[in-house]
């Protein structure tokens, strides 16, 4: 194990311990805690195996930025745990709304306990975010910064809800423009990574670079999401651990939206777009044609260009932090690489 990987592993373990200590502090005899532990990957229910551990990218980003800016790990750990809990709360509802049956290699929570109780557990996990934030002041974070962190977590939750609203409206049959889609990605995916980096700077007392840190995380999130759009059509099944299924599920992603808005596209593309936005399933031949047109007409090239644009903006924001290429921040590239097919 490299030293960088070791540092990352140590931080991830610290985050997990913080989450488990919080759960132990809050747990009662109510069976809802069994559902919460199951969703977080700490417990089994009905014979289901333990979940694969999450990568904890959001809290890790928070801690990496915090450490690079001279912060104290102990005082920011409750905030980092809150970020991971916020992400997990969103996943409960995301699985329900998308009818996702698997989460981290085992049945999604709603498949175990039904939609009503899964929603109840999701609200409980969201409430744990607030409790985690309030614990920051007792862990050594100045009270005014703990309060500001709690506010940021709340605002981030609202941005996530806005992004999910847009995403669900797309699934309901609306035809989003590229600008619509980028706004949705910014709210649903990139905003949480932006808040993660921002909170790391806030907890370190570095208000002078907090917004640069937010841009670092935000553009990293946009980069990862757009790369995931490419992988969802042309990805390597072995590397992804699943078959690329964005065409089969008619997911509205950047390479497709690009070719659908071309004025000079062949007439067949307009026909395929009409089928794509209809409720009926696409045939294998239609999916193959869409894949071909998205490649030949520049959809993939455009997406990769936009991914590179956001990657460059993320690195520019990193330079604004004024910390150089410190050992901890070099790990950001490794984190991004590990996420490219699993965002």
In the prediction, which pLDDT does 338 show? 55
Token couple for 41: 């990957």
In the prediction, which pLDDT does 241 show? 47
Q: What is d(CA 179, CA 118) in angstroms, rounded to the nearest whole number? A: 33
In the prediction, which pLDDT does 237 show? 58
- CB proximity list for 80: less than 8 A, separation 6 or greater: 15, 18, 59, 60, 62, 63
Cβ-contact 338, 9 below 8 angstroms: no
In the prediction, which pLDDT does 324 show? 64
Q: What is d(CA 342, CA 231) in angstroms, rounded to the nearest whole number? A: 9
Token couple for 316: 């520019």
Cβ-contact 133, 74 below 8 angstroms: no
In the prediction, which pLDDT does 19 show? 85
The verdict on pTM exceeding 0.85 is: yes
In the prediction, which pLDDT does 13 show? 82
In the chain, where the domains are located: 3-339
Q: What is d(CA 153, CA 125) in angstroms, rounded to the nearest whole number? A: 13
**Nearest by Cα to 17 from 81, 67, 65:** 81
112: three-class secondary structure by DSSP? helix
Q: Which CATH number is 3-339 given?
A: 1.10.600.10
103: three-class secondary structure by DSSP? strand
In the prediction, which pLDDT does 92 show? 96
- In the chain, % helix, strand, coil (3-state, to 5) comes to 75, 0, 25
**Nearest by Cα to 202 from 82, 26, 37, 57:** 82
Token couple for 73: 């790990």
Sign of the CA dihedral running 246, 248, 249, 255: positive
pLDDT in tens, the chain (343 residues): 444 455 667 777 888 888 888 888 898 999 999 999 999 988 776 555 566 666 788 999 999 899 889 999 899 999 999 999 999 999 999 999 988 888 888 899 999 999 999 999 999 999 999 999 999 989 999 999 999 999 999 999 999 999 999 999 888 777 899 999 999 999 999 999 999 999 999 999 999 999 999 999 999 999 999 998 999 899 875 554 455 678 888 889 999 999 999 999 999 999 999 999 988 888 999 999 999 999 999 999 999 999 999 999 998 998 898 876 555 556 666 665 655 544 3
Token couple for 35: 């559902």
Residue 2 CA, chain-centre distance (Å), reads: 26
Question: DSSP of 305-329, one letter per residue?
Answer: HHHHHHHHHHHHHHHHTT--S-HHH
Cβ-contact 300, 234 below 8 angstroms: yes
Q: Residue 55 burial (CB < 10 Å; 0-12/13-18/19+)?
A: middle
CA 131-343-260 angle, 5° bins: 125
- CB proximity list for 242: less than 8 A, separation 6 or greater: none
């Amino acid at each position: 194990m490299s030293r960088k990987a070791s540092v990352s592993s140590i931080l991830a373990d610290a985050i997990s311990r913080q989450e488990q200590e919080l759960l132990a502090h809050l747990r009662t005899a109510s069976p809802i805690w069994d559902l919460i532990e199951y969703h977080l990957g700490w417990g089994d229910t009905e014979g289901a195996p333990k979940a694969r551990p999450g990568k904890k990218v959001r809290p890790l980003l928070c801690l990496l930025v915090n450490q690079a800016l001279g912060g104290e790990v102990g005082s920011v750990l409750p905030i980092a745990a809150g970020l991971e809990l916020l992400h997990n709360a969103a996943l409960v509802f995301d699985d329900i709304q998308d009818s996702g049956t698997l989460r981290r290699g085992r049945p999604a929570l709603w498949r175990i306990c039904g939609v009503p109780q899964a929603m109840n557990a999701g609200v409980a996990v969201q409430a744990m975010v607030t409790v985690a934030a309030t614990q920051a002041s007792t862990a050594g974070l100045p009270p005014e910064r703990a309060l500001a962190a709690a506010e940021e977590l709340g605002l981030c939750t609202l941005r996530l809800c806005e992004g999910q609203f847009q995403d669900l409206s797309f699934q309901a049959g609306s035809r989003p423009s590229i600008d619509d889609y980028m706004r949705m990605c910014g709210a649903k995916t990139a905003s949480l990574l932006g808040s993660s980096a921002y909170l790391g700077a806030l907890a370190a007392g570095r208000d002078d670079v907090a917004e640069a840190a937010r841009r670092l995380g935000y553009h990293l999130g946009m980069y990862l999401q757009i790369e995931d759009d490419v992988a969802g059509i042309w990805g390597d099944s072995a590397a992804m651990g699943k078959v690329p299924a964005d065409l089969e599920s008619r997911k509205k992603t950047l390479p497709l939206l690009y070719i659908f808005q071309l004025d000079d596209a062949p007439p067949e593309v307009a026909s395929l777009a009409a089928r794509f936005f209809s409720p009926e399933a696409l045939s294998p031949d239609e999916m193959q044609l869409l894949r071909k047109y998205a490649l030949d007409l520049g959809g993939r090239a455009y997406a990769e260009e936009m991914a590179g644009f956001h990657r460059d903006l993320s690195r520019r924001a990193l330079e604004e932090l004024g910390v150089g290429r410190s050992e901890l921040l070099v790990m950001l590239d490794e984190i991004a690489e590990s996420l490219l097919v699993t965002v």
